Structure 1
Amino acid sequence: MRALPFMMMLACASPLAAQDVDQGEAIYNFYCATCHGTAAMGNGPMSPSLVVPPTNLTALSASNEGVFPTVRVVMRIDGRDPLVSHGSSMPVYGDFFEGTDVATKAETGQPIMTSQPIVDLLAYLKTIQQE
């Protein structure tokens, strides 16, 4: 009887969302490159005007012992871990990243809920990590 709630939770769980790297790159170029730069190194044309310099997105794994920090990145983008860099939360395009929740896998293997555009963006960001 104790297993019943757990089994019901598994039955209701969302499957992991498909990741589209090309869509993620398009999202990055449209929404993120202005601040983070086309090479994602934190040197976009808007970066000098920001109070907090944009992160070098190619070094996320390297600065996290070689593991891509999925949970931290998701929460920073979707606003659960806000960063006020220029008078508003990051990203300034937050409404775009809202929508139907989908699951993606955190670095721990556990699912984390976010939106499909963020899942696609994560897929792209993972491909540009430097050793």
Structure 2
Amino acid sequence: MTALKPKIGVTVVAVLSSVLFGGMANAQDISFGKILFERSCTVCHGTVGLGDGDIGQMFQERPSNLQLLAKNNDGIFPLERVYNSISGVREIQGHGDRNMPVWGSIYEAEATPKAFHPGISAEEIVHGRILSLVYYLQSIQQ
């Protein structure tokens, strides 16, 4: 966790700049997203997002292959739907009783004590983390 601390503020600024100024995600957003994915998602979705994680295999309905999100959406990456799934705004149909943790609230709990930078709130840190994860998922599409 300590290795992530210096990157959080920079990533938030980079991601917020990307959103505010309409740019594409940069390599830093994607690499931070990969770190979050490896830390939070691989147990269910597998190391490369195929839905073959160790814990995910125990579910009645297996986790999605995250590399096929765009392909299964007429070739368009469903950015908002993915963001809302991670944040907990969107209920995951296939997960029944919410097997997927609501990462938005987990990221918020982690960010709140660290939101010490003037002008950057815990909510903005959470938003940056989720966007970094979304951008990483966008980068692994087949």
Q: TM-score, normalised by structure 2?
A: 0.64
Aligned-residue offset at 1:92: 4.8
Among candidates 75, 90, 102, match of residue 100 of structure 2: 90
Q: SS of 1:100's equivalent?
A: helix
Partner residue of 1:122?
A: 134
- The answer to whether the 8 Å contact 1:68/1:126 transfers is yes
The 5 Å alignment of 1:57-76 reads 57-76=66-85
Moved more, 14-23 or 118-127: 14-23
More helix by share: 2
Q: Give 1:100 shift.
A: 1.3
Q: Paired residue for 2:123?
A: 100
Preserved CA contact (<8 Å) 2:88 2:102:
no
Give the TM-score normalised by the residue count of structure 1.
Answer: 0.69
Query: Is 2:69–2:78's contact at 8 Å kept on the other side of the alignment?
Result: yes
Aligned partner of residue 41 in structure 1, secondary structure? coil
Consecutive unaligned residues of structure 1, counting only runs of 5 or more, are 1-13, 103-113
Runs of 4+ aligned structure 1 residues displaced above 4 Å come to none
Compare CA radii of gyration and give the structure with the larger one. Answer: 1
Is the 8 Å Cα contact of residues 51 and 86 (structure 1) preserved in structure 2? no
Q: Secondary structure at the match of 1:71?
A: helix
Partner letter of residue 62 of structure 2?
P
Instruction: Give how far 1:96 is off.
Output: 2.8
Percent of aligned positions with the same letter in both sequences? 32
Question: Would you tell me which structure has more strand in proportion to its own residues?
Answer: 1
1:52 corresponds in structure 2 to 61
2:87–2:105 contact (8 Å) kept in structure 1: no
CA-based RMSD of the aligned residues comes to: 2.4
> Would you say how many aligned residue pairs link Structure 1 and Structure 2?
106
Structure 1: how far apart are the matches of 2:99 and 2:88? 7
One of 73, 77, 80 as aligned partner of 2:89: 80
Structure 2 regions of 5+ residues with no counterpart? Answer: 1-15, 109-121
